[in-house]
A and B are shown apart, each in its own frame.
Chain A
Amino acid sequence: MNYKLLHIFRNTPFGRETFLQSLYFCKTINAHPVVYIPKTDKFLMYFANDVVQVNLDNSFLAFPDTAREHVIALFDEAGIPPRFYEPKNFTASTLPDISSQFDYMCSPRSISDLSSKIGLGLLGPKVRRMIKQATFPILIASPVFKAWQSISVFFGGSANAMNALVLGLKIAIASGFPLKIYTVLENDNEDVYRDMVRNSELEELVDQYVIEWCFYESSGFDRMLYEVPHDSLIVLGAYGHGVIKEILLGSKMEHIQSTVTNNLLVTGPNCRISLESATQA
């Protein structure tokens, strides 16, 4: 496989944890991390129908003299040759355009003086917008490095959830880790969900790679979150609602990411996941 993950490096102990997570993710699925060391506190990502400005907090610009050295050391430790990303285009002199031609991206988290925003806090509309527009899944790394040993797919039956299931299978094939599916029954019985999988021609792969499919009553969402193994990579689909839709409809993803400490891999509505290369491998 020839997958690339974009990682925005932060030269702080917190940033090291996130980068270790990216390295582990890449080693596990045989992808390659490409590191961007920011020189400005913001950058743009152009997608097909939107442009997203990512604002970084000052910690991303900390100790620029040692950033590259630290990245190389962590790459060496992981046994992966270092690769860096240098922006070629600039919308304005202080506003580089970062390519959106990646297969995965590790989402930068902001550090704020407000403790509620550190780690398990609000992801915010910016990351959600990126999830909405990106053609690749977004890895939201746990605040502290945690080597995941299994995969948990949250499957609710929507198109995004189906995408997440495909991605979960892809990661399971690449990593060899066991895969579990978690479903909260929303007025339907289990067969409805099984039929969805059958109709999408994933049944064979699901039978082969999924070790368990857990169903919960509609009120059992939080119980389900508790029962997900702490060292599991959670794969889920999200719509990437904006602020207004979030106020009106709420955000399951925000609830999940503020409740569990696991690594999350989120697919958005524009995410294109293909199993072709994974099954060939």
Chain B
Amino acid sequence: MNRLKRIYNLFYAKFFLFDDRLVLMTAGAVVGVFAGGAAVALRLSLASVLEFFAPYRQYAWAFILPGIGALCSFLFLDKVVREGAGHGVPEVIYAVSRRGGLLRFRSTFSRLVSSFLTIASGGSAGPEAPVVMSGSAIGSNIGKFLGLNDRQRMTLVGCGTAGAIASIFHAPVAGLIFSVEIILGEWKFINIIPIAIAAVAGAQISEAIIPEKELFQHHPFDIFAGDILGSIGLALFTALISVIFTRTLRRVGALAKRTPVSPWLRALIGGCAVGTIGIFMPIVLGEGYHPIMEMVSGTFPMAFWLIFLGVFLKIFVTAITLGWGGSGGIFAPCLVLGSLTGVVFYKAMMFVFPNAAVTSEGAYALLGMAGIMSGVMQAPLSSIFLIAEITGGYEAILLLLLVSSISSTLSHIIEPSSFYFKDLIERGEFMRPGTDARILSDLSLNEIIDTSYITVSENMVFREFINIIRNSNRNHYPVISDETGDYLGMVRVSSIRKYALDPAFYDMIFLNQIMDTDMVTASFDDDLHDVLEFMETFNIDHIPVVEHHRFSGMISKARILDLYRRELIMQTNIQ
């Protein structure tokens, strides 16, 4: 046993400690394979079950299928694996933003199962956010197993995301960009290589099991000058639809929380509502890849008004599915919604300008997807590369750029935060790398706090205190209650000069008579960023940390700034 341990230590020292990039690249490939495998497993199982249920969808009783699926999904998440509610991607961003990329082991499979139940039964949601959650959790847990530090673990979380996205869409570049743009929020050499390896590994796993070239194949598009104007119009339209979609998702979710029914019943009701709508408009059900394929290839048979109605129904059923207890992501609904929007816009444009020299309906479906994704996620690069890769529509790359840029900018003006970030921003927990808030949040209060302060008793006579300060170089002395040990206030050397200079006071006053009881305190739960801001605003250099009425130590501005500088150097050196 000891020999094995020595061999392992030797290998670890020679290989892993030689350069931590090797660790990350090796681990990234492993994470990519597992994340890719998870994504393929979900995709194949969804395809087979959706196919199995397809003949039954026309029956009236089929409305109950999404209800049962949502109910099972809710019960699985809440009672079996006991995960908290949420879409997946915001949790991963939170883990990276605040928790050093720590994710629970159960997250490696929980969302896969719950989203499978929701989507396979007909719920309007996408399998991509669950595979992102799963892949990220795989990365996080492999990082934990290898005993990696926070930064390395976060890179592996990014690897999991990239591997999952690359695998489910056959899109390694989109996987890499999504991971860096949305999840990690920083472009660093040390991150990009392992994530790229993970993306390739994920895509290769998918390619090996499901040998298809692109997810949505189509005939080549001919692009005309008139398409530039058309694209601008479509970008405005998709920005509007994106904002409506984002707001509806949030409002329906909030309404669900206020509805006075038990959560399982809510999931059942929501699912049945989705099922009922699905009987009349089947394209809104499930992940919706089949209608997308038809729209991109220009063979979608529905009439203009029905498609127009379909846009709003898709928004509504997705909001109901996700807000009322189902599980899944908004990636696939964005794609369906985008292609529907693109087709509606194209048909409207052709109705108004029947002789306009523009490209095909399929190209507009593709541009619509990019527009909606950019608007909802406010991540234009991810959208552009994802759409280009999954459709092979590189000939439309300029128009994709145009639509994505305008749509994300306009959406950002109307709705300043994306769907993924909004909750985190509202909770004050969205911290991107390199920002002051993030650097300060990476510092532990335990590192900053100075606990070597001398505490003094409230009933200490001033003469005794003079003897203490004579032998100490401190300027602050926390006063503690004799009875309870609670913090009562602070004696500052600068504020007792008049008593110190007059020996007549020495035996006359006690510390509880001269202590400063108004001095603002901080607690361990306070954000360092807020504490520093407070010190700046009120021009104070020291602040006592009081936890549950007990004095824990002092924080000084100089110490914060020293450690801030150290952390900044450490973070930038990694590059």
Please tell me if the beta carbons of A4 and B547 are within 8 angstroms of each other in the complex: yes
- Smallest beta-carbon distance A18→chain B, Å: 20
Given the interface pairs A30-B485, A46-B99, A46-B102, the reply to whether A93 lies near B85 with Cβ below 8 Å is yes
- Smallest beta-carbon distance A132→chain B, Å: 12
Please tell me if the beta carbons of B548 and A92 are within 8 angstroms of each other in the complex: no
A277 closest partner in B (C-beta): B451
Whether B427 is near chain A, meaning CB under 8 Å from some CB there, is yes
Given the interface pairs A81-B486, A89-B429, the reply to whether A51 lies near B99 with Cβ below 8 Å is yes
Tier of interface size on chain A: 20 to 34
User: What total count of A-B pairs have CB within 8 Å?
Assistant: 64
Whether B550 is near chain A, meaning CB under 8 Å from some CB there, is yes
Q: Which residues between 417 and 467 of chain B lie within 8 Å of chain A, taking CB atoms?
A: 427, 429, 445-446
- Which of A70-78, A94-102, A115-123, A214-222 lies at the interface? A94-102
Please tell me if the beta carbons of A83 and B548 are within 8 angstroms of each other in the complex: yes
Please tell me if the beta carbons of A81 and B549 are within 8 angstroms of each other in the complex: yes
Please tell me if the beta carbons of A2 and B552 are within 8 angstroms of each other in the complex: yes
Which residues from B are CB-within-8-Å of A55? 82
Q: Which residues between 64 and 97 of chain B lie within 8 Å of chain A, taking CB atoms?
A: 82-86, 91, 94-95
Which residues from B are CB-within-8-Å of A30? 485
Q: Which residues between 23 and 42 of chain A lie within 8 Å of chain B, taking CB atoms?
A: 30, 32, 34, 41-42
Please tell me if the beta carbons of A53 and B86 are within 8 angstroms of each other in the complex: no
Please tell me if the beta carbons of B550 and A4 are within 8 angstroms of each other in the complex: yes
Which residues from A are CB-within-8-Å of B548? 4, 32, 34, 83
A55 closest partner in B (C-beta): B82
Whether B525 is near chain A, meaning CB under 8 Å from some CB there, is yes
Given the interface pairs A50-B102, A55-B82, A81-B484, the reply to whether A92 lies near B91 with Cβ below 8 Å is yes
**A177 to B571 CA separation, bound complex (whole angstroms):** 49
**A30 to B483 CA separation, bound complex (whole angstroms):** 12
Among A49, A81, A89, A99, which residue has its beta carbon within 8 angstroms of that of B524? Answer: A99
- One digit per residue, 1 when the CB lies within 8 angstroms of any chain B CB and 0 when it does not, for chain A 113-142 equals 000000000000000000000000000000
Given the interface pairs A4-B547, A91-B84, A94-B85, the reply to whether A53 lies near B91 with Cβ below 8 Å is no
Please tell me if the beta carbons of A42 and B82 are within 8 angstroms of each other in the complex: yes
- One digit per residue, 1 when the CB lies within 8 angstroms of any chain B CB and 0 when it does not, for chain A 83-111 equals 10000111111110101010000000000
Please tell me if the beta carbons of A49 and B99 are within 8 angstroms of each other in the complex: no
Please tell me if the beta carbons of A93 and B84 are within 8 angstroms of each other in the complex: yes
**A42 to B86 CA separation, bound complex (whole angstroms):** 15
Whether B98 is near chain A, meaning CB under 8 Å from some CB there, is yes
A56 closest partner in B (C-beta): B82
Among A32, A41, A44, A46, which residue has its beta carbon within 8 angstroms of that of B550? Answer: A32
Among B85, B144, B484, which residue has its beta carbon within 8 angstroms of that of A49? Answer: B144
Among B84, B486, B524, which residue has its beta carbon within 8 angstroms of that of A92? Answer: B84
Which residues from A are CB-within-8-Å of B102? 46, 49-51
**A83 to B549 CA separation, bound complex (whole angstroms):** 9
Whether B213 is near chain A, meaning CB under 8 Å from some CB there, is no
- Smallest beta-carbon distance B334→chain A, Å: 22
**A46 to B99 CA separation, bound complex (whole angstroms):** 7
Which residues from A are CB-within-8-Å of B551? 2
**A111 to B446 CA separation, bound complex (whole angstroms):** 36
Which residues from A are CB-within-8-Å of B85? 92-94
Given the interface pairs A50-B144, A53-B104, A89-B429, the reply to whether A101 lies near B84 with Cβ below 8 Å is no
B487 closest partner in A (C-beta): A2
**A88 to B486 CA separation, bound complex (whole angstroms):** 23
**A170 to B341 CA separation, bound complex (whole angstroms):** 69
- One digit per residue, 1 when the CB lies within 8 angstroms of any chain A CB and 0 when it does not, for chain B 478-521 equals 00000011100000000000000000000000000000000000
Q: Which residues between 524 and 575 of chain B lie within 8 Å of chain A, taking CB atoms?
A: 524-525, 547-552
Which residues from B are CB-within-8-Å of A83? 548-549
**A30 to B86 CA separation, bound complex (whole angstroms):** 42
Please tell me if the beta carbons of B485 and A89 are within 8 angstroms of each other in the complex: no
**A4 to B545 CA separation, bound complex (whole angstroms):** 14
Whether B290 is near chain A, meaning CB under 8 Å from some CB there, is no
- Smallest beta-carbon distance A83→chain B, Å: 4
Among B82, B94, B427, B429, which residue has its beta carbon within 8 angstroms of that of A53? Answer: B82
**A42 to B104 CA separation, bound complex (whole angstroms):** 13
**A95 to B427 CA separation, bound complex (whole angstroms):** 14
Among A50, A81, A88, which residue has its beta carbon within 8 angstroms of that of B525? Answer: A88
Please tell me if the beta carbons of A93 and B549 are within 8 angstroms of each other in the complex: no
Please tell me if the beta carbons of B84 and A42 are within 8 angstroms of each other in the complex: yes
Whether B219 is near chain A, meaning CB under 8 Å from some CB there, is no
Among A51, A93, A94, which residue has its beta carbon within 8 angstroms of that of B103? Answer: A51
Inter-chain pairs besides A32-B485, A91-B84, A92-B86, 12 sampled, C-beta below 8 Å: A4-B550, A51-B102, A81-B484, A81-B486, A83-B548, A88-B525, A89-B427, A92-B84, A94-B84, A97-B99, A99-B524, A101-B445
The 9 closest A-B pairs by CB, nearest first: A92-B84, A95-B84, A92-B86, A51-B102, A83-B548, A2-B550, A94-B84, A101-B524, A88-B525
Report 26 cross-chain contacts, Cβ distance below 8 Å, ordered by A residue. A2-B485, A2-B552, A4-B548, A4-B550, A32-B548, A41-B82, A42-B82, A42-B84, A46-B99, A49-B102, A49-B147, A50-B102, A50-B144, A51-B99, A53-B82, A81-B549, A83-B548, A83-B549, A91-B91, A91-B94, A92-B84, A92-B85, A95-B83, A101-B445, A101-B446, A101-B524
